[in-house]
Amino acid sequence: MPHKEGRERHGRDPVFAQRYHPPEGRDRKMYSIGGRIFGVKKVFPRRAEDEKHGEPFTPSPELCEIVRRCGQAFGIDLYGVDIVESDGTPYVVDMGSIPGFKGVPDAPRRLARYFHAAAERAARGQPALRSIAATEAVSTEGLP
């Protein structure tokens, strides 16, 4: 049935819609592990198995700020943010609290250290999350 603003309502649940921005190049999958930001460029949707992990890149200060603000909005420091660039402007299109971290260099070790440190803080009665104010981009240049 039509809604008073001329929109239709389907059921009782709200519907979220976002404007489509045609992406330029590959999507930027941004990941935060304890305030350290990693960037991976990926083809979406992927067409081949070799596109699954993407290509690590060093995020710009602008992308780091966007990612940091997303984490601050939800009070978390372990998450992923999907960003597309369209007409030279980055747009956040998705955010998840437990992403796959595919393409992040040495992700299993980094995640194990993150969870170990969080467990130690919790055991001492401290907040499990570190302060997310001190965010740093992790350079992927020269990685083995």
Domain assignment of residue 12, yes or no: no
Domain assignment of residue 58, yes or no: yes
Say if residues 77 and 129 touch (Cβ distance below 8 Å).
Answer: yes
Domain assignment of residue 137, yes or no: no
Domain assignment of residue 4, yes or no: no
Rounded to the nearest 5 degrees, what angle is found at the Cα of 117, between the Cα atoms of 112 and 121?
A: 150
**Total structural domains within the chain:** 1
Q: What is the DSSP letter of 49?
A: G
Q: What is the pLDDT of residues 8-40, one digit of tens each?
A: 566 778 887 888 888 888 899 999 999 899 999
State which residues form the domain around 51. Answer: 27-128
* CATH code, domain carrying 85: 3.30.470.20
pTM of the model: 0.77
Q: What is the pLDDT of residues 92-107, one digit of tens each?
A: 999 999 899 989 999 9
Query: Percentage of the chain surpassing pLDDT 90?
Result: 55
